[in-house]
Chains A and B, each alone.
Chain A
Amino acid sequence: MNIPSHIDASTLLSDQHFAVDVVIIGSGAGGGIAAELCAKAGLKVLLLEEGAWYQREHFVMEERWAYPQLYQEGAARKTRDQAISILQGRTVGGSTTVNWTTSIRTPQPTLAYWQSEFGLDFSAESLKPYFELAEQRLNIHPWPVPPNANNAKLQQGCEALGWEYTVINRNVNGCANLGYCGMGCPINAKQSMLVSTIPEAMRLGATLISRISVRRILWQHDKVIGLEAVPVDQYFQPRTDIKLTVTARHYIVAAGAIGSPALLLRSKVPNPSGRLGKHTYLHPTVISGAVFAEQINGHSGAPQSIYSDQFVWPADSSQAGYKLEVPPNHPVLMATKLTGMAEQHAVLMQQFNQLQVTIALLRDGFHPQSQGGAVQLDSAGQPVLDYPLTDYLWQGMRRALLSMAELQFAAGALQVLPINHQAEAYRNWSQAKAAIANLPMAPLQQTVVSAHVMGGCNMSASAQRGVVNQEGRHFQLENLSVFDGSVLPSSLGANPQLTIYGLIWRNSQRLLAELHR
C-alpha cells in the first residue's frame, strides 16, 4: 500500500491498518528527532500525533484560539487536586511548537545526580556531540537582540543585587522578536519540530497521522505486537466509531511525560519496578507580578531572553533550588493568574502594559521530600496527574517569592504582588519581606504552575530502579523504546527541550545501529 505523507485521522471513514518499520507515538521534541533520524536511515516511519497539523498559516495570535487548539486540555490541564496548572503542547511538533524557545544543555550537577542515584553514566562531555548536533540542526544560538523590558527588568534586578544572570540560547532562525512563540510562530522562525525534523522526515517518506489517539499497545511475552488507536473529534476527545491498528518492527513511545506513562498504564505493560507513571516532575513554578512606572509590554519581544541561576543549586542541599525566568504576558494568562476579583482585578488588568512578571521554577526531584507525582487514569482512561506538594517545596516557594520581590524592587518596581491568594500589592521590599514570610503556603492559596513535565518512565542502569535503560529501551519489552521527557529520572533545573533533543538523538542512533544489524 502506498501511504500518503499526511493523514488527518478524523477524516477517515473506515477502520485502517498500517504496517511499518517504526511507529512513533507523539511528535514533540523526542518523536520529532527520532522521526527524522529513522527516516534518514531508510526506515518506513509512521508518526502519530493526537493534535492537529496546524502550520504557520493556521496560527492565530489570540489565546482563545491557541489554547484550545494547540495545548493539552485547552491549556487548563490541572493536577488532581487542581493546585497546579500545566501548560503542555498538543499539536504536531508537541510542546516545541508552542514553547518559548529557551534551549539549555543538561546541567552538570543534574547528570551527576543521575549517576549517583540511577547509575547513568552520562557526562557533559559524553553528551556534548549530541547537544552540538541538535544546536546545529535547530540553529540554537545566544539571542543577540537586547531583551524586552520584561526580561530586562530581570537582568537589571540581578545586576543591582550582584546576582548571576545569563543571556538565553534560542532555537530561532530569522526571528522578528514578536513575542508570540506560545501561540505558534507565525513566521516559521522558531525551529520547532514542526518546521524542521518533521517536514524532513515526511520528505524522506515518513507518514504523519494527525488527530489520532493511541489507546493501547498490544504485547505478548517480551514483545510489542501492535497498537490500537482512534481518531479524535473536533475537541480532541477520543472517538469510538473507527479503529486504526499499526504493526511495526519497533515501537517508540514519545507522547510526553503525562501521555507516555498513561498509554503504558492503559496497556498494562509489565512494571516490576513499580515506577511506571511514578516520579513525575514539574519544575513547580511560582509567580511574582510587579507594577512599573514605565511601559513593560511583556507581550512584545522574545518571551525569554534572560535567566538567573543564582538560586538553582543552593549550598544547603536541604533547600529546594529555583531558576528565575520571565513568561510572556498575554491577556488570558494574566487574567487567570492575577489574584482577586471585581474592581481589584480590573485595576490590575488596566495596568497590563506596566506589569512585569517574574517566575521561579523549582528544581524538584533531588530530595527525599521531592519524589514527584503519579500519573493515574480516570474512568475514561484519560490521564490525571496527582502531585503532592511537600513542606520542602513550600519552603522553596516562599524563598522564591522573597527572591523575586527583592529582585523586582531592586529593578525599580513601584509595587510587587506575589501571586498568592492571600497576598496584597506591597510598596517596598521590607513590607513585602515581612508579608511573604507569613503568606499561607498551601494548595490553591499559593498559585503554582508548570510548563515542564518530566519523568514517569525513568531511565536507570538497573531494572529495579527504572522503566527504561539508558538507551530508552523498555526493560521488559524488547522492541519498545521511550523517547521523550518521561525518561528523565529527576527534573533538570533547566528548560527541558535541548536535553530531550540531545538524549533522543543519542538514543535514536543507538537504536538504528541495532535495527540495521
Chain B
Amino acid sequence: MHRRQFLIAGLALAGSAALGIKVWHYSLSPQPDNRSLVLAAILPALLYGALPQDEQAAITALQRTEQAVIDFMSFLPLRQQQQLDQLFNLLAHRFSRLGLTGYWQTLAMLSASERLALMQSWRDSYLTVLQQAYHGLRELLYGAYYGQPEHWQNLAYTAPRFR
C-alpha cells in the first residue's frame, strides 16, 4: 500500500465528511451493518498483541468489544453519535466502492498491517478530520476492549469487590 493511495482515500473521506449529509444522505443515521463491517476490520488490527491467542476466545473478545462500543455510544451526545455513525458509514461505503471499481480492495481484504498503516496515516494526516477519526476510534475501541474484566488477564489486574 503506497502512501499516495492512502492520501487519496483520505481526501475522499475528508471531503465526504466535510460535505456530510449532502453527499451521503443516509450517513448520519446508524447503519449497524456498516458499523460491524468497520469494527470487524479495525478491531483485530488495533488489538493485535492484546487479543487472546486462542481463535475462539479472540472471536468472543471481539464480539464483546463490539457490543461494548454499541452500549457506550448511546451515552454520547447525539452530535457525537452522529459523527461516529457518519464515520462508520463513510468507511464502509468508501472501501466497498473502491472494491467494486477495482481501484482498491475492501477494508476487510486489507492485511492487518495495511489497516494499521491506514489508521497511522490518519494520525499523521494534515487533515484535522482524519486526525479526529484516528483519535476518536482509537479511544472508543480501546475503552470498549479494556473496560471488560475478561480482558484484564494480561494486565494482572482485577477489579475489587468492596462489599
Report A's interface with B, CB cutoff 8 A: 57, 61-64, 67-68, 73-74, 76, 78, 81-82, 85, 176, 178, 180, 186-187, 235-237, 299, 331-332, 334-336, 341-347, 349-350, 352-353, 378-380, 382, 384, 421, 443-445
CB pair A68 B154 closer than 8 Å: no
Contact of B155 among A61, A349, A421 (CB under 8 A): A349
Total chain B interface residues with beta-carbon distance under 8 A: 46
Residue from A63, A349, A379 having most chain B Cβ neighbours under 10 A:
A349
Residues of B within 8 A of A186 (CB): 162-163
6 smallest CB-CB distances across A and B, nearest first, come from: A346-B49, A64-B147, A343-B49, A335-B146, A74-B75, A342-B48
Cβ of B143 < 8 Å from any Cβ of A? yes
Q: Which residue of A lies closest to B51 (CB)?
A: A346
Q: Is the CB of A237 within 8 A of B78?
A: yes
Q: Per-residue CB proximity of B119-145 to A under 8 Å, as 1/0?
A: 110010000100110011011101101
When the two chains form the complex, which single residue of A78, A236, A332, A379 contacts B146, counting CB atoms closer than 8 Å? A332
Task: Give chain A nearest CB distance to B127 CB in angstroms.
Answer: 11
Nearest chain A CB to B84's CB is how many angstroms away? 11
One of B49, B131, B160 near A444 (C-beta < 8 A): B131
Known: A74-B72, A332-B147. A378 touches B77 (CB 8 A): yes
Chain A residues closer than 8 Å to B50, beta-carbon distance: 345-346, 349
Q: Check B128–A81 contact: CB distance below 8 A.
A: yes
Considering the chains assembled together, what is the distance between the CA atoms of A444 and B136 in angstroms? 10
Tell me what chain B mostly uses at the interface: helix, strand, loop, or mixed. Answer: helix
B74 at the interface (CB under 8 A from A): yes
Question: Are A349 and B116 in contact, with the CB atoms below 8 A?
Answer: no
Q: Cβ of B68 < 8 Å from any Cβ of A?
A: yes
Residue in chain B with minimal CB distance to A68: B75
Q: What residue of chain A has the Cβ atom nearest to residue B152's Cβ?
A: A331
| A353–B155 touching, CB < 8 Å | yes
Q: How many A-B residue pairs have CB under 8 A?
A: 126
Complex Cα–Cα for A347 and B48 (A) = 10
A178–B163 Cα distance when bound, in Å, is 12
B107 contacts A by Cβ under 8 Å: no
A76 engages B157 (CB within 8 Å):
no
State whether the Cβ of B159 lies closer than 8 Å to any Cβ in chain A.
yes
Which residues of B, 68-105, contact A by the 8 Å Cβ criterion? 68, 71-72, 74-80
> Is the Cβ of B48 less than 8 Å from the Cβ of A343?
yes
Q: A342-B45, A342-B116 are in contact. Are A61 and B161 (CB under 8 A)?
A: yes
A85 to B139, CA, bound (A): 11
Q: CA A301 – CA B47 in complex, angstroms?
A: 29
- B46 interface residue, CB < 8 Å from A? yes
A73 close to B162 (CB less than 8 A): no
B162 CB to closest chain A CB (Å) equals 4
Q: Give the residue of B49, B136, B157 whose beta carbon is less than 8 angstroms from that of A345.
A: B49
| A-chain residues with CB within 8 Å of residue B19 when the two chains form the complex | none
Residues of B within 8 A of A78 (CB): 80
Q: Given the known inter-chain contacts A186-B163, A235-B75, please indicate yes or no for A336 contacting B143, CB distance below 8 A.
A: yes
Check A341/B120 contact, CB under 8 A, given A68-B75, A380-B77, A384-B79. yes
Instruction: Give CA–CA (A253, B74) in the complex, Å.
Output: 27
Complexed CA–CA distance, A68 and B160 (Å) = 19
How far does the Cβ of B109 sit from chain A's closest Cβ, in whole Å? 19
Contact A345 B77, CB 8 Å, known A82-B136, A352-B157: no
* B156 CB-CB contact with A under 8 Å: yes
Most chain B CB within a 10 A radius of its CB, from A78, A82, A332, A335: A335
Q: Is the CB of B48 within 8 A of A346?
A: yes
Say how far A58's CB is from chain B's closest CB, in angstroms: 11
Distance in angstroms between the alpha carbons of A263 and B2 in the assembled complex: 50
Given A61-B161, A331-B157, A342-B116, the answer on whether A82 and B135 have CB atoms closer than 8 Å is yes
Evaluate contact between B147 and A341: CB separation under 8 angstroms.
no
Q: List A contacts of B76 (CB < 8 A).
A: 73-74, 76
B72 and A346 form a contact (CB under 8 A): no
**Residue numbers in A under 8 Å from B142 (CB-CB):** 332, 335-336, 345
Which chain A residues border B128 with CB–CB below 8 Å?
A: 81, 443-444
- Say how far A206's CB is from chain B's closest CB, in angstroms: 28
A380, B78: Cβ atoms closer than 8 Å: yes
